[in-house]
């Protein structure tokens, strides 16, 4: 196992408007143009506001993510059964979580969570722009 594969794979989740996301992209681009290395692979997922973040990371969806990460790849049907939840509701959650990259499909078309941890920074005083 290489050192890279032993690294904890984290997803940074937060609130950021288009201006802040664009500024981060430009900063990374300029570092690359100057031949400077990046700090390492940084996986980020930004939502435009708290309501949207909490819509995607509701308690039920977070429970789904935790269970799927600990159990390993599963089908939607098996996941719904093991969580004792309605298939249709789990299917809806999975569809949305796939859309934003919080879960992925394996080559066998099973659901998996590629992250070891979700790290978040939530602003208290000012809106992210």
Pairing of β 111-112 and β 117-121 = unpaired
So where are the chain's domains?
3-121
The confidence score (pLDDT) of residue 129 equals 47
Q: What is the full per-residue pLDDT of the chain (129 aa) written as tens digits?
A: 333 345 568 888 778 765 665 556 566 666 667 777 666 556 777 777 888 888 888 999 999 999 999 999 999 999 999 999 999 999 999 999 999 889 999 999 999 999 998 888 777 765 544
pTM of the model: 0.70
3-state helix, strand, coil in the chain (%, to 5): 50, 15, 35
| Nearest residue to 123 (alpha-carbon basis) of 37, 13, 2, 32 | 13
The confidence score (pLDDT) of residue 113 equals 94
The class (CATH top level) of 3-121 is: mainly alpha
């Amino acid at each position: 196992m290489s050192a890279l594969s032993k690294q904890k794979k984290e997803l940074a989740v937060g609130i950021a408007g288009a201006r802040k996301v664009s500024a981060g992209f430009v900063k990374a681009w300029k570092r690359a143009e100057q031949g400077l290395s990046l700090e390492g692979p940084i996986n980020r997922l930004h939502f435009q506001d708290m309501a949207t973040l909490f819509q995607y990371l509701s308690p039920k969806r977070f429970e789904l993510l935790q269970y799927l990460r600990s159990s390993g790849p599963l089908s939607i049907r098996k996941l719904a059964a093991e969580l004792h939840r309605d298939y249709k509701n789990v299917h809806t959650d999975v569809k949305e979580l796939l859309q934003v990259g919080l879960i992925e499909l394996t080559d066998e078309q099973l659901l998996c969570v590629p992250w070891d941890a979700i790290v978040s920074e939530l602003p208290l005083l000012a809106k992210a722009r």
